[in-house]
Structure 1
Amino acid sequence: MVAVVITACCGVMGCQDGPMYAMKNVNPYYRWHEWQSDEAFGTTEHERRQQLADLAENIGGYDDAVQTKWLSALNHVMDADESAEMRRLAVMAAGNVDGQPALQILEKGMDDGSVKVRMQACRALGNHTTDENVLLLASAVGSETSTDVKHAAMRALQDQSSPKAVEALRLALSDRDPSTQNLAIASLRGATGKDYGDDPETWIAALDGQPVEERPTRFADRLRELF
């Protein structure tokens, strides 16, 4: 009878890991131990990429104890993995978790040598409205050498209504790059809930407290908000 059950399980699940395969897939504790084993023996980049992508999608639903274990593994990825894509996925996963351990991973992401990792860290920081996140993003707007990363930080600040976010975007209005100025205006519309048009100088005057009338909402703008 036991042999029949095992044979049936293999038929349904393809004998990928014996009759325990389904349980390992469902239970994150098994997945954690599986990760440790894989790290010890090494896995292909494709396998690691898929596992990290799955983790990024699901980690927000795990309980605190399991999240803590996974965050430890993600820290290891940030410290030791030579693949920028693996580090980017680690940052993406950490961005779906609240708390200081996750923030430490995002801080590492902001200091990473890869532009795409730093961009992902900006997007991840924008997922949560905290003073620490705003400070990291504002710092990137002011000091980041990559325009792509700077723009990612500015986009992330558009949903942060704190004075520090507004001040960082205000400084970006004086940038020599027109694309940076335009993005600063778009992000300020989100951060302030105001619309002073498309001229950077007008926005600077308004943010400095000078009397400036808001631009009337146009029909096209209403359509964009709806869709």
Structure 2
Amino acid sequence: MSKVVMSRPMDHQALAEPSAHHHGRRAFGAKWLMSVGVVVASASIMGCQDGPLYAIKAANPYYSMNEWKKDEAIGVTDHQRMQQLSDLAETIAALPPNRQQFWTGQLKQMIENDQSPEMRRLAVRAAGALKDASSLALIETGLDDESMKVRMEACESLGRRPGDDAARLLAATLGSETSQDVKHTAIEALANHKSPIALDSLRVALSDRNPATRDLAVASLRGVTGKNYGSNPDVWIAALDGKPTSEPETRIADRIRGLF
């Protein structure tokens, strides 16, 4: 499906309301603008959707495109909604403050009510592009989502967001999350937070029973500290605790300079 290239930041003024004949599973969906006025509509759910046929549609372009074309003849499809929301996530930070405020309300509705995990994930991604306090609350809501991929997106958004509040949410996620994939995403995101909060959280992760978790914690600690004590978690623990180590401290910048 071709993507429209715009010469200015895109503000979706409307997402076409589904036809009355569009049957199928319905979601609360998002509230969208129609022309200049605001029209509130519930979005119909057809087309690409998480569920038993999701993998088949994703793996078979002919099947998915054929289904989308049929749905588009009736009304708006999930594919169209996802594409427009994905575009919004890329441009929302450049919108005027009043438009950002408007979209914060719409994203809140999607994150809390949309039945599609992919739409909720994209809404969290769009919220992550904003830097105000209300958008941080939306990302935090994503951390409690039932979908693992929404929670992972929330962690990635927090990794791109500066400040101790974002680091605290990642640290809390690392301590409470049951999904290894989400925990690992939180660990990788903490690498961008050069703060005592990130340092303490990653220090705890060094003692995790999962070798992959410990390895990721070591990699993130290199980013947080700018130092390298090798790959042994015990050596890192000793170094962070101020104890002598068997590995000499190497600064990452020094290693990079040594390559040239």
- TM-score (normalised: structure 2): 0.71
Q: 1:68 — aligned with what?
A: 101
Q: 1:93 — aligned with what?
A: 126
Aligned 8 A contact 2:222 2:252 in 1: no
Letter in 1 for 2:33: H
Letter in 2 for 1:222: I
Distance 2:162 2:119 in 1: 26
- Residue 216 (structure 2) pairs with residue 214 (structure 1): no
- CA distance 1:214–1:135, change in 2 (3 Å): same
> After superposition, what is the alpha-carbon deviation per residue over 1:153-208, rounded to whole angstroms, capped at 9, x for unaligned?
00000010110101100100000111000000000000111111111011001101
Distance 1:93 1:121 in 2: 10
Deviation, structure 1 residue 209: 1.1
The structure with more radius of gyration: 1
- Residue 13 (structure 2) pairs with residue 30 (structure 1): yes
What SS is found at the alignment partner of 1:39?
A: coil
Distance 1:34 1:162 in 2: 45
Q: 2:178 — aligned with what?
A: 145
Aligned 8 A contact 2:227 2:252 in 1: no
Aligned 8 A contact 1:71 1:102 in 2: yes
Distance 2:179 2:234 in 1: 24
Deviation, structure 1 residue 27: 6.9
- Residue 72 (structure 2) pairs with residue 39 (structure 1): no
Q: 2:50 — aligned with what?
A: none
Distance 2:9 2:238 in 1: 56
Segments of structure 1 that go 5 or more residues without pairing to the other structure are 1-21
In the TM superposition, what are the counterparts of 1:88-167 in structure 2 within 5 Å? Answer: 88-167=121-200
Query: Percent of aligned pairs with the same residue?
Result: 45
Equivalences, count = 201
Two-structure CA RMSD over aligned residues (Å): 2.6
Aligned 8 A contact 1:29 1:66 in 2: no
Distance 1:217 1:66 in 2: 42
Deviation, structure 1 residue 49: 0.5
Deviation, structure 1 residue 222: 3.1
Aligned 8 A contact 1:155 1:187 in 2: yes
- CA distance 1:113–1:29, change in 2 (3 Å): closer
In the TM superposition, what are the counterparts of 1:184-223 in structure 2 within 5 Å? Answer: 184-212=217-245, 213-215=248-250, 222=256
Q: 1:57 — aligned with what?
A: 90
Aligned 8 A contact 1:155 1:183 in 2: yes
What SS is found at the alignment partner of 1:198?
A: coil
Distance 2:142 2:253 in 1: 39
Segments of structure 2 that go 5 or more residues without pairing to the other structure are 1-5, 15-31, 45-75
